[in-house]
Structure 1
């Protein structure tokens, strides 16, 4: 069984993330979506809220995706998380050239720690390349419409959070 790990903070999960998840499922039998705790980023949503959002979204894709999807919160090194879940592949989404420089460095470091785990880059589809969770949160915070970037459930979660 080929297992892939798609890590991120998913704060919140976007249609861009969904695009990468669905396409990654074509490459693996089991896809673990690693929800990073990453306190340094100061997420809008708690870990529990982010995991719940990802679980709700992933439940919709599991059957159509043709692979098992598992949600796994983690706080350790990405390469250690990959080992923990038995992943042979780390899936990373790229939106633009600017993403590549950072990701290239990460691959080098991960390969130095464990050269048996490969990293695969998937380019986001053109309509999703501009979507970033950070921008979605900013647009929502300023009262803009984010429905083109996230599902209705995530829109509702963002609105509820803004009311707090």
Structure 2
């Protein structure tokens, strides 16, 4: 059986922290699907198409990585793409508490899909898409926080 992993998120925009987690995890799986989910509690700054394009450009030389948008439950999307793993990046203990609650719920709904947590490299632990969007809104320089492919 192929080891297919879904890395779900909003990636609005993708940050160097996201890229770090993706680069460190891609070798663990036969295929890594980056799923840009629609979160009803978040109002995105960038379109799903724009976010997919950035990710495709960043990982254009990595054939094991695919990217697409999705709606609905993450475990339902896992089934659609035949993923048997969900990857989540962790920066702080507060991230773990939040992500563990989601992982526990997903395990009850789909016991055959395993959630894997990967901690962020220390140099990226303070970067979040939320903070990057605040810098963008205030016309600040975000080049320290996002890959060079992220242009707007």
Distance, in Å, in 2 between the alignment partners of 1:124 and 1:100 is 12
- Structure 2 CA distance, aligned partners of 1:11 and 1:108? 25
Unaligned runs of 5+ residues in structure 1 are 158-164
Q: CA–CA distance in 2 between the matches of 1:39 and 1:54?
A: 22
Task: Return the structure number with greater helix share.
Answer: 1
Instruction: Tell me the distance in 1 between the aligned counterparts of 2:143 and 2:54.
Output: 15
TM-score normalised over the length of structure 1: 0.88
Show the counterpart of 1:77.
73
CA offsets, 1:60-107, max 9 Å, x none?
4x1xxxx61111211010111111111111000001111011111101
CA distance in 2, matches of 1:40, 1:56: 28
Runs of 4+ in 1 over 4 A off after TM superposition: none
- In the alignment, what sits opposite 1:50? 51
Shift of the alpha carbon at 1:55? 1.4
Q: 1:88 aligns with which of 84, 89, 113?
A: 84
Greater relative contact order (Cα < 8 A, sep 6+): 2
CA displacement at 1:51 relative to structure 2: 1.3
- The answer for unaligned runs of 5 or more in structure 2 is none
Return the offset for 1:135: 0.3
Corresponding residue for residue 3 of structure 1: 4
What is the TM-score normalised by the length of structure 2?
A: 0.94
